Amino acid sequence: MLPIQLIPYFQYTVHAVVATLLFGLLFWQKGRRGFYGASICVDPDSQLTPWLVVYWHRVIVRSFRRAHAFLGRMFDLDEIRSTKGHIAWPEVKSYFGVLGCHPKTFLWHKLKLLLHRYSRNTGQFLFGKPSQQRTAAG
């Protein structure tokens, strides 16, 4: 059983990363980029920077894209469109919406169940990439 509450090579938990990205999503919906706003909404002792939020955003987007086929067996993903470029807030918003992760009503238990199911069925982490899957090129 994988430690699903973690993301490989991350100092922060899945819960912390997703909750922070939900703050970023709120700021993005207000017309901002969302990364700085998300970094100041969390506990100052976490030492979170806007750059780290950008990095998390990219990892989560890549992870959702990698898991799209699996997630499509459980959820209706017809509305999700992959966006070009590095900043993909509309795509993140769509995935989070389908998974029940909304900025104002974050239901951790639903995401935790999905993490367990994904891990059990694939033997992988939903988010991130463990060392066994990493290559020298990245």
134 vs 125 pLDDT, higher one? 125
**Residue 4: predicted pLDDT:** 75
**Residue 85: predicted pLDDT:** 67
pLDDT tens-digit readout, 14-41: 999 999 999 999 999 999 888 999 999 8
Q: Is 131 helix (H, G, I), strand (E, B) or coil?
A: helix
For residue 60, the enclosing domain spans 14-127
105, 68, 121, 25: CA torsion to nearest 10: -20
pLDDT tens-digit readout, 65-88: 999 999 999 999 998 888 776 678
Mean pLDDT of the chain: 86
Our count of domains for the chain comes to 1
Q: Is residue 114 part of a domain?
A: yes
Q: Is residue 39 part of a domain?
A: yes
Q: Is residue 7 part of a domain?
A: no
Q: Is residue 55 part of a domain?
A: yes
